[in-house]
A and B are shown apart, each in its own frame.
Chain A
Amino acid sequence: MKKVFAIVLAAAMIAAMFAGCGSGSSADAGTIKVGMTGPLTGGAAVYGTAVEAGMKIAVEEINAAAGDSGLKIEFKSADDEHDGEKALNAYNTLKDWGMQFFAGCVTTAPCLSVAPQAVEDQVFMMTPSGSSEKIANTGSNIFQMCFTDPNQGANAALLVAEKEMATNIGIIYDSSDDYSKGLVDGFKTKGAELGLNIVCETSFTSDNKSDLSTQVTQCKDAGCDFVFLPFYATEAAQVLTYANKIGYEPTFFGCDGMDGVLTIDGFDTALAEGLVLMTPFNPDAEETQDFVSKYKDMMDGVVPNQFAADGYDVIYSIYNACVATGIDGTTSAADACAKLEEYFATYTFDGLTGSGMTWDAAGMISKVPAAVIIENGKYVAF
């Protein structure tokens, strides 16, 4: 009996293998295939699911209005759990599916593991939110939709100096995180040029970030009236809560990773009042309302963050470029890659995260940095 069962199982497996082969590469001229990977489960899932939803909205819009050019998008997402190896596997699976453009990954570490393969395969890759400089520097066909970390850090320093926001600056950062370190490097280098007075610099690591009270107390003791927090919303909520408890009220300043601080479940948004953060996307601005309402419908009323908007922009930038260069579903990934690479050198793109965006030869984006201040629980342009 067991033997029969085993044979049936084996037969089923072989059948499944052939089934997988058959449906592989059916190219339809009117449909381009875009794939993405991101952390759809696991600790970083909040970013992956946001990007995925933003991309899906863009794809739906494009397919609904495809009458103009006749070109549609077939979109497929895969989970990489914020893990380099899984991202590479997911990328290969997408390639077998017939992916022409790779709109991922979401987080930096998986980007760095997939990028060399994308260079080798000559697949056009644009990450919505992987912000390390190393990603774009991997090859000429790797592009970024978000600022690189040192670039954003420098922009932050520029803003602080221009608006004369600080006399004594404190910095708390995550020394185990490339994103956080990159921002601090950029901020300090530019800050030194501009004569910013940094009096306290303290850090934590991913292993001991569960208690940041010492770091906040250090900034308080050093007399900082301005604290730069180049990390994610979760830790920011912790810092803000503790600072409020001990009655410490400097100006807190965050970067794009802090986007989403207002939507943390259970967080008293009154604590974030007066917080300034660099973000290219403002969900309370008039021109983003259409996207915001679509996103809320899709995600049970959650307000989109910058990651969702980046995902949305990535799809549109690739799609518009394809229409302009005459790429369709039959163009091979490598041909499409060569065409887009050439096109992006002179491309100017307007999207949700800024207008007049351009890319340099390395594939890094240039756009106007924007900051918002939180007033009455809403983002207001700063």
Chain B
Amino acid sequence: MQIIQYLINGISIGSVYAIIALGYTMVYGIAKMLNFAHGDVIMVGAYISFCVTNYLGLPAIVSIIAAMAVCTVLGIIIEKLAYKPLRGTSSLAVLITAIGVSYFLQNAAQLIWGTAPKNFTSIVTFKPFSFADGALVITGEVIITIAASVLIMVGLTLFTGKTRMGKAMRAVSEDRDAAQLMGINVNQTISMTFAIGSALAAIAGVLLCSTVPTLQPTTGSMPGIRAFTAAVIGGIGSIPGAMLGGILLGIIETFSKKYISTEFSDAIVFAVLILILLVKPTGLLGKQVQEKV
């Protein structure tokens, strides 16, 4: 019974990583850049949701919509102001800019909301399910998180596979110049990607803080790095890969905390990353791309 409890905890936190990893993977797949500010957009989303429920007294669902709206706009603004001017320059310049944006967001949050941590009120109100006299407890957050991540993954797969915009995204991801020649508006497509990624970040922020209630300006950074790892394990650029990587990472983390050491869980997670990359350099579900000379 114990092992099932830890497995469920692992899948739950892993699902949050998966949703964050989806944001990384989409932006990487289409814009070919690592958006390190993604973790901080999560934090902004959580703060918006916190303010709407705690200060305005509105219901949780309104707060999620508000958080998604704000993050979407924020994502588009970041892309337009910070990343678009650098399109075509070296990827290193973009990477450094992304780190700068991350610091900017953290410090802005510190100015707006202060440094004292806030305690996020969970959006889930129904009671946990208890089995076997309380030996196995499944909280409402676990169910909502897992359901949300599966829904999002299915939705995104359908979106990129079936819709016009989704097809444009895949085309840009495959060959940006050719896509442009075919009449696809590349800038608009990339903005759209950032908008979707940031909206996902808002959902991830709300779910993350519902599971782990501490909300402070640095809340997004560690989960952001873990989710990035998850995206790499799964094969960056691949949507099911992000999902698989996230859940796998959550389970590995929880099990190594339980059975090996609570202190070395990070070391173990990253050791697994190295092992997987040694065996499959493109990640579990990543595609091998032949470089043509």
Contact = CB atoms under 8 A, between A and B. Distances in A.
Interface stretch (A237-245, A323-331, A364-372): A237-245
Interface string A198-213: 0000111101101111
A211 B13 contact: yes
Nearest to B2: A221
Nearest to B115: A45
Interface string B126-141: 0010100010010101
Interface stretch (A96-104, A156-164, A265-273, A285-293): A265-273
A203 B139 contact: no
A234 interface: yes
Interface stretch (B157-165, B176-184, B195-203, B214-222): B214-222
B188 interface: no
B214 A245 contact: no
Given A41-B110, A247-B128, A238 B116 contact: no
B170 interface: no
B6 interface: yes
A207 B5 CA distance: 23
B287 interface: no
Given A208-B265, A214-B257, A267-B119, A234 B128 contact: no
A52 interface: no
What is the size category of the interface that chain B forms with chain A?
Answer: 35 or more
B134 A234 contact: no
B262 A204 contact: yes
Contacts of B134: 246-247
Given A207-B222, A238-B214, A247-B128, A213 B116 contact: no
B137 A246 contact: yes
Interface in B265-279: 265-266
Contact of A204 (B2, B9, B263): B263
Contact of A214 (B120, B211, B262): B262
A207 B253 CA distance: 13
Interface string A25-45: 000000000000000011111
Contact of B9 (A43, A217, A266, A268): A217
A41 B106 CA distance: 12
B254 interface: yes
Contacts of B110: 41-42
A43 B262 CA distance: 24
Nearest to A207: B266
Interface in B191-246: 211-219, 222-223
* Residues of A in contact with B, size category: 35 or more
A246 B128 contact: yes
Given A208-B266, A210-B212, A221-B2, A43 B13 contact: no
A217 B219 CA distance: 22
Contact of B6 (A217, A238, A245, A247): A217
B256 to A, nearest CB: 10
A221 B257 CA distance: 14
A264 B128 contact: no
B117 interface: yes
B87 interface: no
A45 B260 CA distance: 35
Nearest to B219: A210
Contact of A266 (B119, B139, B257, B258): B119
B91 interface: no
A42 B257 CA distance: 29
B215 A266 contact: yes
A215 interface: yes
A240 to B, nearest CB: 9
Nearest to A213: B9
B262 A265 contact: no
Contacts of B2: 221
Nearest to A204: B262
Contacts of A210: 212, 214, 219, 222-223
Given A43-B218, A234-B214, A264-B117, A203 B13 contact: no
B167 interface: no
B32 interface: no
Contacts of B120: 266
B84 interface: no
Nearest to A234: B117
B5 A217 contact: yes
Interface in A171-225: 175-176, 202-205, 207-208, 210-215, 217-218, 221
B222 A214 contact: no
A235 interface: yes
B54 interface: yes
B24 interface: no
Given A238-B214, A246-B128, A247-B137, A205 B263 contact: yes
A136 to B, nearest CB: 28
Contacts of A208: 222, 253, 257, 262, 265-266
Nearest to B265: A208
* Residue with the greatest number of chain B CB neighbours at <10 A, chosen from A46, A176, A208, A221: A208
B262 to A, nearest CB: 5
Contacts of A46: 115-117
B254 A214 contact: yes
B118 interface: yes
B214 A218 contact: no
Contact of A203 (B116, B117, B214, B262): B262
Contact of B213 (A42, A43, A202, A237): A237
B15 interface: no
Contacts of B116: 45-46, 264-265
B50 interface: yes
**Interface pairs A-B: 6 shortest CB-CB:** A267-B119, A45-B115, A266-B119, A265-B118, A214-B257, A246-B137
12 contacts: A41-B110, A42-B115, A204-B262, A207-B266, A208-B222, A211-B211, A217-B5, A218-B258, A237-B214, A245-B137, A246-B128, A266-B121
Interface of A: 41-46, 175-176, 202-205, 207-208, 210-215, 217-218, 221, 234-235, 237-238, 241, 245-247, 264-268
Given A208-B266, A246-B134, 19 more contacts: A43-B115, A44-B115, A45-B115, A211-B13, A213-B212, A214-B9, A214-B257, A215-B257, A215-B262, A217-B5, A217-B6, A234-B216, A241-B122, A245-B139, A246-B139, A265-B54, A265-B119, A266-B120, A268-B119
